[in-house]
Each structure stands twice: as C-alpha cells, then as structure tokens.
C-alpha cells in the first residue's frame, strides 16, 4: 500500500494531472469563500476520488476471486496490453505528444460543477479520471503491480493506496512544490519517469515475446536495450540530450551551462548501473536484478 501511495503522488507529476491540479485547488477553495468552506470542498473532492478508485479496486478483487483471472497474467495479450500502456506513457512523458482535455468533456464538467454544491464537486472528481484516462491508467497499472503478491485483495489495497497518494497533492499542494521546486526540475522528473516507463514497457514486451515463444528479445538483447535507455537517461540528466519540450538549462554567472548536484548524482547512479549490467552481456548472472531479466 505504501508503494501504491508513492505511485499515486508521482501520478500528480504526469503532464495532465500536474496542469489541472492548481486550477482545481483554486476552484474548490476560491478567495471569496472562507478557508473552512474551501477545505470542506477539497475533502469532498478527494474523498470522492478515493471512493472511485477504492470501489474499482474492490470490484477487481471480486472479479479476480470469482474468475481466477490471475491465471491469465502470463498470457501474451495481457503483457502486450501493459507494454503498450507503458510505452505510450513513456513517449508522452518525454514530450513526443501531449494529452489534452477534450473540450466537450471539460465543458460538461464545468457546467455540472458550476453550481458549487456537493453534487457538482463529486461530478468534478468523477470526471477527472475519465478525462485523464491516458495519464492515470498506466500509473494505476503500476499501482496494481505493486500488490500482485497480495492475493485477491491486492487490487483493493493497491488502488486505495493509489487514490490516497493521488489525493495528497490536492489536500496539501506544497507536496508538489517540495518534489518539483521549478519547471526545470519538473522536466527532469518527467524525463526520468519517461525512461523508467519505457524500461517497464520493454520488460512486458519481453514477456510477450516469451509467451509467444518467438525468442526475439532474449536476455542479452534485453540487457543491451536497458543499457541504452540508462545511458540516454544519464546523458539527459547531464544536459547532453535535450528534449523538444525542455526549458533552457540554468547557467552560472559566466553564462556557462552547469549541472545541478542532484542531476549529477542521478547520472552517476545510472552510469554505475550500466557498468554493473555490462558483464551480463557475456553471461554474468546479475543476481541483483535476475528476477527482472528474461531467462537465458
């Protein structure tokens, strides 16, 4: 559940949620209303979010218990679907394309919520996961995967934790200010999340390949792909690679671009991970991540 809470908080950094979060908070607690009334509106909004995802988790648990759907986790269709979700999320976070709010849905939400009553606020909460489907669903799958060893109640606990984490930035917006103190840091966080999502997507692609017995992505090719992604992520953190949606890097007093200390440490960790992976190309067991790798 704690892992799912972390995933929920990270979901708030995805492009769509991060864009609408400040607007939503300002709408629910405008300056014209008392602080107490604004807090009440935010609690109704976040409580509805928790209820939505928790109900979905309970339903998934019931379905899993009744149908034994966990037996199909190894099926290639399941793994290919998850692969597409993560690859799409990764490409989006890297700035190739953006998810935009459909105008008709936004207008409908505004019309329902304009009344300012409890029903309108609950309708806003119900609409948010729907209009941010492409951003929320992949992260929700990550939350579900954190509880895959928890049995049939795993989905219920995972989505409850996910909804709590997603709600925290609405209740206490300073969480995002702590995690993302500037737009430049937001770019770096989104970029790293993009590379991680691509890595997870490749993992499920290898599981699809294994289920179909095509043997296209064997252990050695998988390690090479992970090395390339880690190298690209490290170069990105050092500012060697820039993406189309990035802000200009900060410069020092002499007008020279420099790398912040956190970016440098992350880059060092990534390149250290690459050095650790290299012997795996020649058959080293890599016991630390052996469960993540395809069989030899």
Q: Is the dihedral of CA 26, 95, 134, 234 positive or negative?
A: negative
pLDDT value at 245 more than 90: no
- Residue 267 pLDDT: 93
When pLDDT is averaged across residues 81-110 and rounded to a whole number, the result is 72
- Residue 226 pLDDT: 95
- Say if residue 85 is exposed, middle or buried (CB neighbours under 10 Å; 0-12, 13-18, 19+): buried
Q: For residues 220 and 296, give the distance between their C-alpha atoms in angstroms, rounded to a whole number.
A: 8
pLDDT value at 181 more than 60: yes
Q: For residues 276 and 271, give the distance between their C-alpha atoms in angstroms, rounded to a whole number.
A: 9
Burial 121-147 (b: 16+ CB within 10 A, else e): bbbbbebbbebbebbbebbbbbbbbbb
pLDDT value at 23 more than 70: yes
- Residue 234 pLDDT: 93
Measured CA to CA in angstroms, residue 188 lies from 18, 166, 195, 214, 258 at distances of 14, 20, 11, 36, 14
- Residue 26 pLDDT: 78
- Residue 195 pLDDT: 93
Smallest CA-to-CA distance from 15 within 148, 248, 180 is with 180
- Residue 36 pLDDT: 80
Nearby residues of 157 by Cβ (< 8 Å), 6 or more positions away: 1, 4, 57, 147, 150
pLDDT value at 142 more than 70: yes
- Residue 215 pLDDT: 85
Total-model pTM = 0.78
Instruction: Compute the mean pLDDT over every residue in the chain, rounded to the nearest whole number.
Output: 81
Lowest mean pLDDT among 39-43, 161-165, 279-283: 39-43
**Domain residue extents for the chain:** 2-179, 183-289
259 contacts 238 by C-beta, under 8 angstroms: yes
Measured CA to CA in angstroms, residue 61 lies from 55, 85, 155, 240, 290 at distances of 10, 21, 6, 46, 29
């Amino acid at each position: 559940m704690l892992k799912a809470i972390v995933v929920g908080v990270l979901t708030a950094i995805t492009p769509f949620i991060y864009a609408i979060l400040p607007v939503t908070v300002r709408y629910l607690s405008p300056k014209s209303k008392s602080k107490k009334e604004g807090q009440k509106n935010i609690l109704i909004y976040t409580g509805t979010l928790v209820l939505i995802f928790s109900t979905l988790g309970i339903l998934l648990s019931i379905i899993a218990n009744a149908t034994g759907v966990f037996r199909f986790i190894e099926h290639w269709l399941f793994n290919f679907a998850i692969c597409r979700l993560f690859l799409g999320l990764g490409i989006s976070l890297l700035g190739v394309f953006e998810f935009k709010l459909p105008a008709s849905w936004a207008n409908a939400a505004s019309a329902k919520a304009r009344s300012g009553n409890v029903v309108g606020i609950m309708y806003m909460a119900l609409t948010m996961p729907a209009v941010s489907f492409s951003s929320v669903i992949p992260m929700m799958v990550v939350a579900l995967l954190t509880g895959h060893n928890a049995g049939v109640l795993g989905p219920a606990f995972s989505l409850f934790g996910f909804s709590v984490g997603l709600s925290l930035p609405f209740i206490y917006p300073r969480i995002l200010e702590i995690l993302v103190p500037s737009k430049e840091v937001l770019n770096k966080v989104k970029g790293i999340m993009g590379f991680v999502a691509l890595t997870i997507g490749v993992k499920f692609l290898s599981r699809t390949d294994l289920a179909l017995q095509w043997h296209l992505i064997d252990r050695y090719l998988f390690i090479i792909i992970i090395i390339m992604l880690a190298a690209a992520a490290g170069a990105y953190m050092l500012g060697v690679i820039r993406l189309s949606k990035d802000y200009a890097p900060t410069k020092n007093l002499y007008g020279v671009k420099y790398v912040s200390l956190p970016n440098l440490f992350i880059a060092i960790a990534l390149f250290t991970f690459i050095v650790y992976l290299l012997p795996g190309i020649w058959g080293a067991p890599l016991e630390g991540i052996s469960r993540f790798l395809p069989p030899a």
